[in-house]
Structure 1
Amino acid sequence: MPEPVAMTATRIDAATPADVSDILRLIKALADYERLTHEVVANESMIHEALFGAAPKAEALIARRDAQAVGFALYFHNFSTFLGRAGIYLEDLFVESHCRGHGIGKALLARLAALAVERGCGRFEWSVLDWNAPSIAFYESLGAKKLSEWHVYRLSGDALQALARDG
């Protein structure tokens, strides 16, 4: 386990291609925290293409302490037909355990909220695992509301291939 670091000012920067290895490292740390390391198949090339390729699919922010990447937020635009406006969907937010409780997660979320406002987005959304009580409490402390009337569905792997093929 890393040693606790002295908490100095946090820098939140838009990710650049030079951050890809840190982003992948943080993705793997997130997967470990969520007990999902077996699902990580992403590599640096895939992350680079998704964020910085010819047709980027997502964007990322990097949180730094003393020039060390200690957290990230990966997000993309979605669209609300009811609002007639884009939104920001936060795919992943993660702060290394030794840096939690020092406002880094809040700083990442605040930067994303500011981006949503700047870009004229109608909402800012994300999902959280039902067992992740610390994150749920944190999000609710910021005023985020649980949408209990919605259920997330996912097609992947063989089921996705079958529907695409047999549609």
Structure 2
Amino acid sequence: MNQPRLATIEDMPRVLELINELAIFEKEPDAVEVSLKDLQEDGFGEQPKFTCFVVEVDGKVEGLALVYPRYSTWKGKVLHLEDLIVSEASRGKGLGTLLLDTVVEYGKSMDVKRIGWEVLDWNEPAIEFYEKKGARVMRDWDVVQLDQKGIDNYLNQK
């Protein structure tokens, strides 16, 4: 098992596989709309929209952490952890800790005031993992989103 490293454009096919694996785990197998081309262009174009770290086991990417900068009106510069994914076959081997360590170190190097992410309320193993690491799980907040259809409906109501 190696230390996490920055992902390369060549890692994106495996990254997409892991994203799809997570969608199945989260009971949303048909929800992934992002394509390989999207990941390659958005992560490695002139203005990358995200940073991705991967960790390998025996030469195969078995985990990833995808982050991007945000801005908080209360705190200033913050970092958003979109997903921390470890393949089902490699869970329990410390990869999640290695990836989270890397994200926290990256955030510290960027001088962010906060690192934030979401976790499903039924994913107790993940919640326990994050709490053991010192994260505060804020159960009194709800996630609010507008998907593409919601955006269109919103704008059509104006």
TM over 0.5: yes
Mapping for residues 1-167 of structure 1, pairs under 5 Å: 9-83=1-75, 85-167=76-158
Structure 2: how far apart are the matches of 1:155 and 1:164? 11
Per-residue deviation at 1:165?
Answer: 4.6
Per-residue deviation at 1:98?
Answer: 1.9
Match of 2:30, SS state, is: helix
* One-letter identity of the residue aligned with 1:33: F
Report the TM-score, using the length of structure 1 for normalisation. 0.89
Superposed CA RMSD: 1.3
Structure 2: how far apart are the matches of 1:68 and 1:102? 15
* One-letter identity of the residue aligned with 1:158: K
Note the alpha carbon deviations across 1:113-143, whole angstroms, 9 max, x for none: 0011111000111100111111111111111
* One-letter identity of the residue aligned with 1:41: E
Note the alpha carbon deviations across 1:136-166, whole angstroms, 9 max, x for none: 1111111111123322100112221122454
Match of 2:77, SS state, is: strand
Structure 1: how far apart are the matches of 2:140 and 2:42? 31
- Segments of structure 2 that go 5 or more residues without pairing to the other structure are none
Match of 1:135, SS state, is: helix
Match of 1:11, SS state, is: coil
Report the TM-score, using the length of structure 2 for normalisation. 0.94
Structure 2: how far apart are the matches of 1:69 and 1:35? 23
Structure 1: how far apart are the matches of 2:12 and 2:88? 20
Percent of pairs identical after alignment? 31
